[in-house]
């Protein structure tokens, strides 16, 4: 059985953003059955887990051939074995890889910086000075991204691919803001990706243990 590590619970702002979701989604799109292994803070700090994931993060992925960490690398690995996530021709595969890394390297750092300020450092003095600069840079990047998407439905070869899994995951980290509404083509793109049955199944699977934890420990709900 393919196995993905995931958290047993995270605060509400992180639910739907933890990166095992990207791997779950890729596996669902590829039609690959998998199980999850839930961990908590004590596991993250353990030498045994650090031997699998040096930074104590999730996910770790294992199948009968490989053991890996880093969600982007795992999604790319899954895609390379699935026609549902990557075309068979060399040019098409190159474009998927190009857009996958563009999501991770050209878009995510700005999204992550903004989200980090809003979710972890809101109200701190330095944020008031820094956030407008970050938002300005992010908006320019989103305008460029929207122009690149143009009239297409998907980023690589206008066929849904692993690149769209990573790009959507990145853009979803803006959902605590109204920024994406100013880029209607990108907002429609995210909605289109979120409407895919495989995404819905992956999200439900990530959220299920969180809901179970909150049901058994009501004090967790709403945190």
Q: Based on the domain organization, do 48 and 122 belong to the same domain? A: no
Number of domains in the chain: 2
Q: Based on the domain organization, do 145 and 123 belong to the same domain? A: yes
Q: Which two tokens stand for residue 95?
A: 């474009």
Q: Based on the domain organization, do 205 and 107 belong to the same domain? A: no
Residues 6+ apart with CB under 8 A from 53: 5, 60, 69
Q: Based on the domain organization, do 19 and 69 belong to the same domain? A: yes
Residue span of the structural domain in which 126 resides: 90-196
Q: Based on the domain organization, do 126 and 188 belong to the same domain? A: yes
Question: CATH no. for residue 27?
Answer: 3.40.30.10
- Its pTM stands at 0.96
- Please, which residues bridge with residue 192 across strands? none
In the three-class reduction of DSSP (H, G, I as helix; E, B as strand; rest coil), residue 190 is classed as helix
What is the spatial distance between Cα 24 and Cα 14, in angstroms, rounded to a whole number?
16
Q: Based on the domain organization, do 141 and 61 belong to the same domain? A: no
Q: Based on the domain organization, do 35 and 116 belong to the same domain? A: no
Q: Among candidates 27, 13, 32, 107, which has minimal Cα distance to 59?
A: 27
Cβ-based neighbour number of residue 144 at 10 Å: 12
- Please, which residues bridge with residue 60 across strands? 69
Q: Based on the domain organization, do 80 and 33 belong to the same domain? A: yes
Q: Based on the domain organization, do 132 and 205 belong to the same domain? A: no
Question: CATH no. for residue 161?
Answer: 1.20.1050.10
In the chain (223 residues long), the average pLDDT of successive 10-residue segments reads 95 96 98 97 96 97 97 98 95 98 98 97 95 98 98 96 98 97 98 98 97 91 78
pLDDT for the residue numbered 211:
95
Helical pair 71-79 and 162-172, crossing angle rounded to 10 deg? 150
């Amino acid at each position: 059985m393919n196995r993905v590590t995931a958290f047993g619970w995270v605060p509400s702002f992180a639910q739907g953003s933890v990166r095992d979701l990207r791997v779950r989604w890729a596996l669902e799109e590829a039609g690959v059955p998998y199980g999850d292994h839930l961990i908590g803070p004590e596991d993250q700090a353990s030498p045994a887990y650090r031997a699998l994931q040096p930074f104590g993060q999730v996910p770790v992925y294992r199948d009968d051939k490989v053991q890996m960490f880093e969600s982007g690398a795992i999604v790319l690995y899954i895609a390379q074995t699935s026609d549902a996530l990557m075309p068979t021709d060399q040019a098409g595969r190159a474009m998927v890889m190009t857009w996958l890394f563009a999501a991770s390297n050209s878009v995510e750092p700005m999204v992550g910086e903004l989200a980090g300020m809003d979710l972890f450092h809101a109200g701190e003095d330095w944020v008031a000075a820094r956030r407008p600069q970050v938002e300005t840079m992010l908006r320019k990047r989103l305008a460029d991204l929207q122009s690149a998407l143009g009239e297409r439905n998907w980023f690589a070869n206008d066929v849904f691919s692993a690149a769209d899994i990573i790009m959507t995951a990145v853009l979803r980290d803006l959902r605590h803001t109204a920024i994406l509404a100013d880029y209607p083509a990108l907002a429609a793109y995210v909605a289109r990706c979120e409407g895919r049955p495989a995404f819905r199944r992956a999200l439900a699977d990530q959220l299920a243990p969180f809901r179970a934890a909150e049901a058994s420990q009501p004090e967790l709900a709403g945190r």
